[in-house]
Amino acid sequence: MDHFKELSDIIEAKKEEFFDLSDKIWGFAESRFQEFESSKLDAAYLESQGFKVKLGVADEDTALVAEYGSGKPVIGFLGEYDALSGLSQQADVAEHVPIQAGCDGHGCGHNLLGTADLAAAVAVKELIEQGKLKGTVRFYGCPAEENAAGKSFMVRAGLFDDCDICLTWHPGWMNQVNGNGSLANIRVFYTFHGLSSHAAGAPHLGRSALDAVELMDVGVNYMREHMIDEARIHYAIINTGGTAPNVVQSEAQVLYAIRAPRVGQVMELFDRVSDCARGAALMTGTRVDIKQVSACYDCIGNDVIAGRFMENMDKLLPIDYTEEELAYAKKFQGAITELDRASLKNAAKRIAGKDAAKLLEQPIWNFRVPGYAKSGGSTDVGNVSWVVPTAQFGIATLAAGTPGHAWQVVAQGKGSVAKKGMLTAAKLLAVTAFDFFTDEKLVQAAKDELAQRLEGETVPDALPRDLKPMIW
């Protein structure tokens, strides 16, 4: 039997189980390093399917590795299940109605992401069990993709050292294969310590930590003129030192996210940002503690894997949507801002040229967008891509134009459009894994390409050696 049909049939036969997992994880909505229920659920399911499961790896209680089979090749799927802070939202409602205000929600669709990777692993496992494939299939349950780069700790712990190929995907509103280049990204806390005093009675006895934060931010904002265009630096003042203007603030803290195309460039910028912090401390007579808490590397693309994704995606698309599903997507298109609409129009022009107006009539973009997707964000899939040939793709699970990291993503995360996307992603992951299980030369070509792209560069040492995964 054709392996497309065989793998698709396995996934279809178990689809209700996968929907149940995805919906439950959507409901748990657990953010970074708190994915206790989500990881337990995946671990229990994989165990029930005959996988050997280790939950709690790489100093991360909510990370898991599940494998089936033996020997080479070892092919891994990268699952995620973390939610985003403050994005609680009711399902299927096209207006912002939180289930519980201030609580978390699946604003990046990782309930679908992780479940499709798990489904692909289960489908491949069935073929190994039937003796139709030889090798090891592995599911990595990776926590804290958002904000803390959970995979970076798994890479550091050596969990990918014997892996030959890694595959994954991301939900979105375009069907497209990713190329090179998410941005490398590190996060750093700068905590200033000063001296408190009466701001009017004894200002000369105070040393303001808040002044230091402000001066540091000003310094960094001037620095922007003198850094590469592609770099991005963001900050959030986490602690202003209190709410009383008549007390000199003795403690203040700012969290920086520093991004650039390559991790080496990020480390250079990190030094310069830290110089701004040290300069601000000197100016204000305060002291600064610098604590880096994460390191996301840039993604090294892989044309060998990406080529297989493209060819296989073309065989799996288009997805068969019902009139109700198209109407559902249209309803959500009515809930985006004018800015998002303008961005959607730009995307349509870029992709369809003079046929842009026709494309904009389609509430779900049901075709493969040619070429490579380029991400302006960051992902810890990058860390894996430095040690294992890795590639990823996007499959539409959302109405075209839906903004990322927004309540609209949460709202659509349990719908049938999302679920059809999830199953398509699972099939694409499984059939592509099949290509590598059955062709040693293809595995070698992907490895050769990674070596070529690295040009002898070693894996960057951007994660502080003594840093443990932490909730912050």
Q: Which residues bind Zn ion (CB under 5 A)?
A: 108
217 phi, psi to nearest 5 deg: -65, -40
Minimum CB distance to Zn ion smaller for 106 or for 125: 106
How remote is the C-alpha of 80 from its chain's centroid? Answer: 8
Minimum CB distance to Zn ion smaller for 82 or for 217: 82
3-state secondary structure of 362: coil
Taking the C-alpha atoms of residue 318 and residue 14, their distance in angstroms, rounded to an integer, is 21
CB of 358 to Zn ion, least distance (A): 30
Alpha-helical regions (H) of 317-403: 323-333, 338-352, 356-360, 381-385
Rg (alpha carbons) of the chain, rounded to whole number: 23
Q: Count the alpha carbons within 13 Å of 243 in the hemisphere toward its beta carbon.
A: 0
CB of 306 to Zn ion, least distance (A): 19
111 phi, psi to nearest 5 deg: -60, -40
Contact predicate 449/10, CB 8 Å:
no
CB of 377 to Zn ion, least distance (A): 7
How remote is the C-alpha of 35 from its chain's centroid? Answer: 15
Minimum CB distance to Zn ion smaller for 136 or for 185: 185
Query: CA torsion sign, 152 to 153 to 158 to 159?
Result: negative
CB of 17 to Zn ion, least distance (A): 23
Contact predicate 250/210, CB 8 Å:
no
Minimum CB distance to Zn ion smaller for 21 or for 227: 21
For the chain, the helix, strand and coil percentages under 3-state DSSP, each to the nearest 5 = 45, 20, 35
CB of 470 to Zn ion, least distance (A): 19
Minimum CB distance to Zn ion smaller for 108 or for 255: 108
CB of 343 to Zn ion, least distance (A): 17
CB of 375 to Zn ion, least distance (A): 10
Minimum CB distance to Zn ion smaller for 126 or for 145: 145
Query: What are 224's two structure tokens?
Result: 């922007």
Minimum CB distance to Zn ion smaller for 108 or for 254: 108
For 153-200, the DSSP string reads HHHHTTTTTT--EEEEEEEES-EEEE-S-PPEEEEEEEEEE-B--BTT
CB of 451 to Zn ion, least distance (A): 28
Give the residue at shortest CB distance from Zn ion. 108
CB of 379 to Zn ion, least distance (A): 7
Minimum CB distance to Zn ion smaller for 108 or for 463: 108
221: Cβ–Cβ under 8 A, 6 or more apart, which residues?
A: none
- Which has the closest alpha carbon to 88: 413, 324, 441? 413
Minimum CB distance to Zn ion smaller for 145 or for 449: 145
Taking the C-alpha atoms of residue 363 and residue 414, their distance in angstroms, rounded to an integer, is 18
CB of 108 to Zn ion, least distance (A): 3
Contact predicate 107/410, CB 8 Å:
yes
CB of 109 to Zn ion, least distance (A): 7
Strand partners, 142: 80
Residue 172's CB is within 10 A of a number of other CB atoms, namely: 23
Give the residue carrying structure tokens 């002898």: 456
Q: Is 193 exposed, middle or buried (0-12, 13-18, 19+ CB in 10 A)?
A: middle
Minimum CB distance to Zn ion smaller for 182 or for 249: 182
Give the residue carrying structure tokens 């289930």: 99
Strand partners, 412: none
Minimum CB distance to Zn ion smaller for 241 or for 382: 382
Longest C-alpha distance within the chain, in Å?
Answer: 86
Minimum CB distance to Zn ion smaller for 149 or for 215: 149
Contact predicate 119/44, CB 8 Å:
no
CB of 207 to Zn ion, least distance (A): 39
